[in-house]
Amino acid sequence: MAQVLEFKLPDLGEGLTEAEIVRWLVEVGDVVAIDQPVVEVETAKAMVEVPCPYGGVVTARFGEEGAELPVGAPLLTVAVGSVEAATGPQPSDGPHPSDGSHPSDGSGAAGADSGASGNVLVGYGTAAPAARRRRVRPAPAPAALTPTAAGPAPAATAAAAATDSADPRGPIAVISPLVRKLARQHGLDLRQIVGTGRDGLILRTDVESAIRTVDEDRTADAAQVAHPGSKAPDERVALRGVRGAVAEKLSRSRREIPDATCWVDADATALMAARAAMNSAGGSAAGPKVSVLALLARICVAALARFPELNSTVDTDAREIVRLSGVHLGFAAQTERGLVVPVVRDAHTRNAESIGAEIGRLTEAAREGKLTPAQLTGGTFTLNNYGVFGVDGSTPIINHPEAAMLGVGRIMAKPWVHEGELAVRQVVQLSLTFDHRVCDGGTAGGFLRYVADCVEQPAVLLRTL
């Protein structure tokens, strides 16, 4: 016979305590293999597919798409062992045990012939030596599900099931796949139905009764539709997932960091010409295309070497400024899931070509929703290219707990005085938002001026190469 095992939402790392169900990858009644992804969830850091450490038949799912579950909450139950035993009773010529007990593998990880998960899920681990076999006694049926002498009780609605049903975290008392299919087709949660069969077994008549109750409720609701002239209700959007994480981080930045912003216009004509020369070079000088963002990132790294005060963080508990030895450069990226800030690790050890390749790799992963929590944390300075939205300037909010952020507007043709004459040049506005606790305006102004000088005269960078 099959053994029903419960798979709970595992610890996904990085201190995350909850996740939102984005998409179920399996249905009740599906056969799953060990380590097969069963659900796609979104955390405050990334979107991940969660593999199931058990192989067998899915007997229940917990939570609809869009629901938020804490770590440790049940995700689904799997009947491990014989598929026939999991989906329904089979004819047998031999005697049946009167007490309903059956042998089961005491390890609780799989049936007698099942393999073991190779994934390391916090709270599950990997395969362990087989434990001694023992008989597992079935839990006694709750009193609310035991039929009375007067006859079977009528099927209860979802409200009655909340007080009379068994522990919602246990297996569902259903044998027939047809009953499961009927409930699934009508969007019913079998955990909210009290069975009238033997030992609380949910029968087809119980599901049909629940369907009639739901249809009656829907008819009553339709009769109470608001009049055509009434005001439509306001929409409420839950702050969770990436949007919730961004809201919390930006709010904390505003509460804790006394920020200030300075900005300057720069003639980027020479920088654009240098980039064109790099990308058109042939022969031994040829290489991957270099983006404007990669060049600006390399300029930031050089500026931070001259002004290390801005590559720091504030330890409020110790009342200390921590100047960081390495530069882990974050860059703002807008995706369908919202704003994310991937981090280029050890940017101070990379050249413009290497930085550009890493930015491209992380940007592609961000668009596909495959960034890991580790790739979204640990930044020490952020580069924000809001010029891609067609705007010139901004006063961005610092990415807590960093100390500064460089903003870059769009590069566009403008009239500019060049070598004493009016000319049309490629002009960009640069802004620096900084934590006034780590430095004064002189340091921030020096940093921004150095960045502008490198944009206007890229040869200045040769001093640091």
The residues annotated as belonging to the active site are 436
Q: Is 442 helix (H, G, I), strand (E, B) or coil?
A: helix
Q: Provide the 10 A C-beta neighbour count for residue 249.
A: 17
Helix (H), strand (E) at residue 258: none
Taking a C-beta distance cutoff of 8 angstroms, is the pair 377, 45 a contact?
yes
Residue in 311, 353, 329 with CA at minimum distance from that of residue 465? 353
What are residue 429's phi and psi, to 5 degrees? -100, 130
Q: Scan for tokens 């829907």, then name that residue.
A: 218
For residue 309, the Cα-to-chain-centroid distance in whole angstroms is 33
Taking a C-beta distance cutoff of 8 angstroms, is the pair 426, 267 a contact?
yes
Instruction: Name the DSSP class of 53.
Output: S
Q: Scan for tokens 């099942």, then name that residue.
A: 114
Distances (CA, A) of 168 to 65, 398, 444: 18, 45, 58
446 burial type by CB count under 10 A (0-12 exposed, 13-18 middle, 19+ buried): middle
